[in-house]
Amino acid sequence: MPRAIGTALLLLVCAATSVRGDQESSALIAYHDKVDKSVEKGLEYLAKQQVTPEKAKEMNKPYLVGSFASHEQGNTGIASLCVMAFLSKGYLPGSEPHGDLINAGIDYVLAQQHENGLLVNRDNPGSQNGWMYSHSIATLMLAETSGMVDPVRQSKIDEVLPKAFALLLNAQQIKKDDRNAGGCRYTPDSRDSDLSLTGWAIMALRAGKLNGAFVPQENIDGAVRYILKCRMENNGGFGYQPGNGATVGLTGCALLCLTLCGEHKNPVVLPAGDYLLKNIPDRNDSQMKSYYAYYYCSQAAFQLGSRYWETWAPKMYDLLIASQKENGSWEGNEIGPTYNTAMSVLAMTVAYRQLPIYQRDDSFEEE
């Protein structure tokens, strides 16, 4: 990544330390202290899940240092989500109180790259169904931290990221049929696509493009075309694959990707935003047991502006704060409490605007 861009991003992040996207909203000001307390409890829990040198020695697995406890030992995607959770609250690599933890997480992910560019654990790759999830999230994290780290780590990121981006671009380009063109799926050579995985890939590519990486516009355009194929005409929501029924989480995913790709004015955007507002879940809604739904819908609502964010955020805050465990974690039937907690923190910290990917175009508001 060009150093000037990295430096500019670091200045942007540091300058945003005291900025909250909901400062103007009297309704949301009341949540500030509660959200801060909940986020800090979540981060305390995540800090205890990192594999320290001492823990790795007890496990006789020194190669896991810097990773985080999860369903798969050494999962790079979960390690990356945890790193981004700390960054989202404004903590920086190398700075107290969590700088060493963040650096260890970055170092762990950097050490896992395969010859083909894939960023999954070298000793325990896990299920192939998770490869492109882990790779996309790890690529996103490295793109977000580029420009924040010391020169030695920056040099390593500059070596790893181009290969990681190339793998994502190639994964898009091998799709030959119109139904799947532009998307991504479970493995780098998958011939089909789905919106869930495409969402993570596009976030990574968009972060790379923001950092000055070579990401052809045709790849962004192809992803947008794939996303639009997943739209349901009858209600404006989006589904897992073309022709599938709409869900709240995947509609949030589609909205986030479209706005990040510069499609704010696309006529499908506001109807999809209205779909979210019409389907705000309660605590027992099965759709919201997926923590990625909180994550995507929070980012989407924030990107769409005040009406959407000020309607979505209180419901999301209430649901997550009420369901947080005493130890700071969020539990459920998904990948496990480390993943659930990282995703919950990321959902709740959108308005802090700490991560570059969390920035929004405030000139965009519903007309």
Walk along the chain (367 residues) and give the pLDDT tens digit of each residue: 443 344 333 433 343 343 455 556 788 889 999 999 999 999 999 999 999 999 999 999 999 999 999 988 999 999 999 999 999 999 999 999 999 999 999 999 999 999 999 999 998 888 888 999 999 999 999 999 999 999 999 999 999 999 999 999 999 999 989 999 999 999 999 999 999 999 999 999 999 988 888 899 999 999 999 999 999 999 999 999 999 999 999 999 999 999 999 998 999 999 999 999 998 766 555 544 578 888 999 999 999 988 999 999 999 999 999 999 999 999 876 689 999 999 999 999 998 887 876 676 554 454 4
From CA 78, how far away is CA 274, in angstroms rounded? 31
Residue 199 · residue 224 · CB < 8 Å: no
| Cα–Cα nearest to 136, from 112, 119, 156 | 119
- The per-residue pLDDT for 361 is 57
Peptide bond connecting 188 to the previous residue in cis, omega within 30 degrees of 0: no
Longest CA–CA span in the chain (Å) reads 59
Specify the fold of 3-351.
Glycosyltransferase (1.50.10)
For the chain, which residues make up each domain, given as ranges?
A: 3-351
Nearest to 67 by CA among 290, 59, 18: 59
pLDDT of residue 124: 86
pLDDT of residue 224: 96
Query: How many C-beta neighbours within 10 Å does residue 278 have?
Result: 11
Side chain identity at 283, as an amino acid letter?
A: R
Q: What is the C-alpha to C-alpha distance for residues 359 and 9, in angstroms, rounded to an integer?
A: 11
Helix (H, G, I), strand (E, B) or coil at 89: coil
Please state at what angle helix 195-210 crosses helix 131-145, rounded to 10 degrees: 20
Ramachandran category for residue 324: left, alpha or beta (phi over 0 → left; psi -120 to 50 → alpha): beta
Q: What is the pLDDT of residue 20?
A: 58
3-state DSSP helix/strand/coil % of the chain, to nearest 5: 60, 5, 40
**Residue-level pLDDT at 21:** 55
